[in-house]
Amino acid sequence: MPLSQVGLFQRPTGSTNVTQSSSKTDEGATRMLTQLRVQFDVVQAESDWAKYELLVLPDGVPVTDALAKKLQGYLKKGGKLLATGTSGLSADASAVVLRELGVKVEGMSPFTSTYMRFDEGALGSADGALVSYAGDHVVYDRGVRVTAAPGTEVLARIVEPYFERAWDHFCSHRHTPGLMRASKYAAATLKGNVGYVSFDVFNQYAVHGNLPYRLVVKALLERLLPEPLLKVSGPSYVEATVQCQKGEEGMRQIVHVLAYSAERRTGNLDIVEDIVPLTDVAVSLRRAKAPKQVYLAPERVELPFRYENGRVEVTIPRVAGHAMVVVG
């Protein structure tokens, strides 16, 4: 049985066709959360959310009165929420439906593209050496103009361009440069146990793969879930899942680590041909009590571990494509 910490909503597409019922938002959210090693299930409004510590409403999930009431009850019981885009707002972004978001809205941005600027210290332990966090990062598609309500923390701000690029206001670059000063509008906010991103961060991640999008979501998740179920070191292509299984000596957890780097070698096909081994992969698993043993399966090779502050800490010496760690 898989262990999950997060419940992820799907963005409605209006189609019941199995090949068209998922969106770029669903693809981007799945990729991003997998790369962040977040353990999640796909849920619906009718689902039982009791076991999830956090819910994600990605990009444009309509919040009806019934859903808003259920979400408010979930939050009052200590649940956490991450919403993006128009989720929790009216479809035209003219009104706030879920007041717990902690923002005031002024409609959709008049600009097709804007920029995101992180506040100092917002990223915390965010990693990635290929981006300058101090600069302004393109938000490729139109977002929502929001300002922080009293008591809401702003993690990143919107920098608007000098003008909307058009036939009568031309800029030779694809995006009109941004103003020197950040606008009053927020790109990412946090109020209590609710985080919010003011643009379709998951859809844009699927389309553009822009690393700062993953970083802003990671920054919010680190604040909302300071004790994630699983932490695994290594490159972003490493995937990790946790299973719970009944063993000979009671319940045990099994951590699967996959490390296959796919390469686009044809127009529409990613191929995995070569296995590049990883060494000394650190795994940290949240667990209520110390395990009796930790070992690699199916080899039954014992691994040294330590149990501190409610977490099992272990290092996998070598991952050649796949490793399975049993914590029991």
Are residues 244 and 218 part of one domain? no
pLDDT single digits (tens) 140-197: 999 999 999 999 999 999 999 998 888 888 777 778 889 999 999 999 999 999 999 9
Are residues 128 and 10 part of one domain? yes
pLDDT single digits (tens) 67-82: 999 999 999 999 999 9
Identify the domain containing residue 293 by its residue range: 230-327
CA atoms within 13 A on the CB side of 235: 13
Are residues 239 and 196 part of one domain? no
**Domain CATH number, residue 263:** 2.60.40.1180
> Per residue in 41-75, is it b (16+ CB within 10 Å) or e — as a string?
eebeeeeebeebbbbbbbbbbbbeeebeebbeebb
Of the residues 224, 259, 282, the one at which a domain ends: 224
**Domain CATH number, residue 133:** 3.40.50.880
pLDDT single digits (tens) 293-322: 999 999 999 999 999 999 999 999 999 999
Are residues 172 and 52 part of one domain? yes
In the chain, the percentage of residues whose pLDDT exceeds 70 is: 94
CA 177 and chain centroid, separation? 28
pTM: 0.93
**Average pLDDT of the segment spanning 21-47:** 94
Q: What is the DSSP string of 113-149?
A: -EEEEEPTT-STT---TTS-TTS-EEE-S--EEEEEP
Residue 20 predicted with pLDDT over 70: no
Are residues 181 and 42 part of one domain? yes
Are residues 48 and 193 part of one domain? yes
pLDDT single digits (tens) 238-268: 999 999 998 666 789 999 999 999 888 898 8
Are residues 72 and 193 part of one domain? yes
Are residues 198 and 57 part of one domain? yes
Of the residues 224, 253, 268, the one at which a domain ends: 224
Of the residues 179, 207, 224, the one at which a domain ends: 224
Q: Which amino acid is at 55?
A: L
**Average pLDDT of the segment spanning 12-26:** 71
CA dihedral 227, 229, 235, 237 (to 10 degrees): -140
Residue 305 within any structural domain of the chain: yes
Residue 1 within any structural domain of the chain: no
Closest CA to 230 of 274, 184, 284: 284
How many domains is the chain built from? 2
Residue 150 within any structural domain of the chain: yes
Spatial distance between the Cα atoms of 137 and 218, rounded to a whole number of angstroms: 16
